[in-house]
Copies of this chain bind each other. A is one copy, B any other.
Amino acid sequence: MSGISHATVSRLPRYLRLLEELEGAHETVSSDDLAVAAGVNAANVRRDLSDLEFQGTRGVGYSVPSLGDRIRRELGIESRRLVAIIGAGNLGTALARYDGLAKRGFDVTAIYDTDPNRVGQSIGDVQIQRMEDMPMDCKVGCFDMAILAVPANAAQSVTDLLVKEGVHSILNFAPVRVSVPEGVAVRQVDLSTELQILSYYG
């Protein structure tokens, strides 16, 4: 991991989105097009890519396949990542069915729930398992990232269990902050943030 800024990291998926649309059809992309994709200006793009030590060609632009590879490597998604979803309620089910994950290199390999009526049912190809099965699945490398789609009051205890089993990337959709020890990355997704930003523009 190089020491690029958080703002740069958060723009990389947006650049990658455009690059993946262009791959196969275009060889190069301009900083202007990348800027539009990320909602910043072209100077930002050039600085971001220079932080990645990625060079463009004046008057030509950046190589689409090379820049895509470079960003995937930086994000740690050159190979597919295996993801568990904890909680098979409406949100967990929606996430498990969400096309976008597989398309972006994330395979949902396990889904857990505490509700005995949900356990044994399938979402797509994946059967819902008992929470008790999670630690062993984690040990054998069934997944290495987890998405929390549990109620607020269960979020911390599930997080503790995941951390104990060695998971150190957690995406938290539960509407509460969870605390983790150093070395574990958590991102809290607050769906109302998007509505607040939208409210400014709409």
Q: Is the CB of B185 within 8 A of A101?
A: no
Q: Is the CB of B175 within 8 A of A202?
A: no
Q: Residues of B contacting A99 with CB < 8 Å?
A: 152, 175
Q: Is the CB of B94 within 8 A of A9?
A: no
The dominant DSSP class at the A interface is: helix
Bound-state Cα–Cα, A77 to B152, Å: 25
Q: What is the CB-to-nearest-CB distance from A178 to chain B, in angstroms, rounded to a whole number?
A: 14
Q: What class of interface size applies to chain A in its complex with B? A: 35 or more
Q: Residues of B contacting A77 with CB < 8 Å?
A: 196, 199
Q: Interface on A for B, CB 8 Å cutoff?
A: 1, 6-7, 9-10, 12-14, 16-17, 39-40, 74-77, 81, 83, 89-91, 93-95, 97-101, 103-104, 106, 145, 147, 152, 168-171, 175, 184-185, 187, 189-202
